[in-house]
Amino acid sequence: MLASGSRGARFLYLERELVRLNMLSPSEVRRWREKATFFHSEDDAYLRFLIPEGLRVLAVGSGSGDTLAALKPAVGVGIERDPQLVALAQAAFPHLTFVQGDLDSDADLARIDGVFDVVLLVDTVGLVPDCQALFERLHRFCGRDTRVIIAYYSHLWHPLLKLAEMIGVRKPQQRQNVMSPGDVANLALLADCDPIKSEKRMLVPFGVFGIGRFINRFISALPIVREIAFRHYTICRSLRATDDPVNSATVVIPARNEQGNIESAIQRMPRFCQDIEVIFIEGHSKDGTFEEMQRVRDAYPDWDIKVMRQPGKGKADAVFTAFDAARGDVLMILDADLTMPPEQLTKFWAVLKSGKAEFANGSRLIYPMEDDAMRFLNLVANKSFSLLFSWLLNQRFTDTLCGTKVLRRKDYERLKAGRAYFGDFDPFGDFDLIFGASKLNLKCIDVPIRYAARTYGTTQISRFRHGVILLRMVVFAFFKVKAL
């Protein structure tokens, strides 16, 4: 047995194991991969969901290169310590770049230049003696938008995997680190890699007489069953990466029949930054809301106020039309009913300004709300949807339907470019933004606010008609996000 403090001996042991286990010829490597075709197809399918085509991807511990090639990157670079695997990968995928190097060597990693959209580690954390040190070395490849994606097997499966090696149905492996998703997230955080979310998938890593795909797609997604799934994926961002500072904001105020709230929105809005643009966008009102917007704009020349009419129908159309016209670094939504107090916008600005999150979502369900602010059935529905979407997206959302959502304009532009994945299905825009932020793997955070009762007008929400739409969206999201 090695002494726990003998780091040099541990490195020597791993080196000998690598020599022993890397005696496989290229043909044998291919043979073992073909025997695990079902597992790799399932693994690659979810990685393709996390990593769209056309990105700059660095695979750390790239192996035979098949996974990197399956992602179809615009720029694909792999680093692997085994020279035979490097040669095999480069011959099979000449359009990609593979570098032979030691992951424990700063000098070897320094041979790779540039910042990548994704840094991918598939099973690599099982092989390195110091995962925290490896994560710290990865910051050099990270920009503000880079996501570090770590795929590994569940520690619960370790005994079965060792048995599979013994009976010859799994490729022999060197001694592995056995880590839970919590262990991976903790090591990443120690290295200033902020864990964003974690997913557990693949209840069976083999075909099971043709029904393995069905089991992995539907059964393994269930809340309790997923805890014993074979595969887990942890997504992080670098806390050391720098980005352009945010200096300006656009507050979008969509309004339909909200004439009595327009002036109050300006009067109550704090000067939370030096450069604030306000866009009132009107949705075919019948109470003079548009004319009131114009009057308020002219009455407050010390504010940069713009007035628009939405071309279509629904809040989503209004918000996205205004977002497209906005000039601020940060985009904010403030519902014209003012049930989310405008004074609270300062909190949302602080979250984005500090970098604590990349998508701030208002939550009305933490603090006590004013009497009559929300009907009982609405409260039950909101809490139910928050639980459903937290499960669907693997990120905590305590209130999906609060109108106030805040993100950077450049993240909105990326979100907009990828909206075709979900389609035009959300008349409110809330889920469009939440789904889009989750698909981009943005760091999301809830900002609790004190929900107020209306002082003018009536709600635009129909509990039952819109409730059916929301349920349809949950089913839709299940197939687009969970049952992949």
More confident residue, 476 or 91: 91
479 Cβ neighbours under 8 A, 6+ residues apart: none
The predicted-structure confidence for 237-247, as pLDDT tens digits, reads as follows 999 998 889 99
Rounded to 5 degrees, what are φ and ψ at 447? -115, 105
Residue 251 buriedness (CB in 10 A; 0-12 / 13-18 / 19+)? buried
- Cα–Cα separations (whole angstroms), residue 385 to 17, 236, 379, 397, 472: 50, 25, 10, 9, 12
| DSSP for 387-419, written as a single string | HHHHHHHTS--S-S--S-EEEEHHHHHHHHHTG
pLDDT reported for residue 373: 67
Do 65 and 89 contact (CB within 8 A), yes or no? yes
Residue 220 in tokens: 């393994």
Bridge partners, residue 408, by sequence: 330
**Lookup result for tokens 């693949």:** 202
pLDDT reported for residue 4: 39
CA distance between the termini of the chain: 44
pLDDT reported for residue 461: 60
Residue 448 in tokens: 């609790």
Indicate the range of 397-401, 451-455, 465-469 predicted with least confidence: 465-469
Report the Cα 162 to chain-centroid distance in Å: 33
**Lookup result for tokens 């939370």:** 272
pLDDT of 189 strictly over 50: yes
**Lookup result for tokens 């208002």:** 362
pLDDT of 414 strictly over 60: yes
Do 467 and 381 contact (CB within 8 A), yes or no? yes
Angle, helices 376-393/463-477, rounded to nearest 10 degrees? 10
Residue 459 in tokens: 């709600």
pLDDT reported for residue 197: 94
pLDDT reported for residue 8: 42
Please report which helix (H) or strand (E) contains residue 234, including its range: strand 231-238
pLDDT of 9 strictly over 70: no
pLDDT reported for residue 161: 81
Do 195 and 189 contact (CB within 8 A), yes or no? yes
Cα separation, 75 vs 68, in Å, equals: 10
The predicted-structure confidence for 386-404, as pLDDT tens digits, reads as follows 888 888 888 889 888 888 9
pLDDT of 26 strictly over 90: no
The predicted-structure confidence for 132-171, as pLDDT tens digits, reads as follows 999 999 999 999 999 999 999 998 888 888 887 787 777 7
Do 77 and 58 contact (CB within 8 A), yes or no? yes
**Lookup result for tokens 């059964």:** 219
Cα separation, 405 vs 334, in Å, equals: 8
The predicted-structure confidence for 339-353, as pLDDT tens digits, reads as follows 999 999 999 999 999
Domains of the chain from N-terminus onward: 7-238 (3.40.50.150), 248-482 (3.90.550.10)
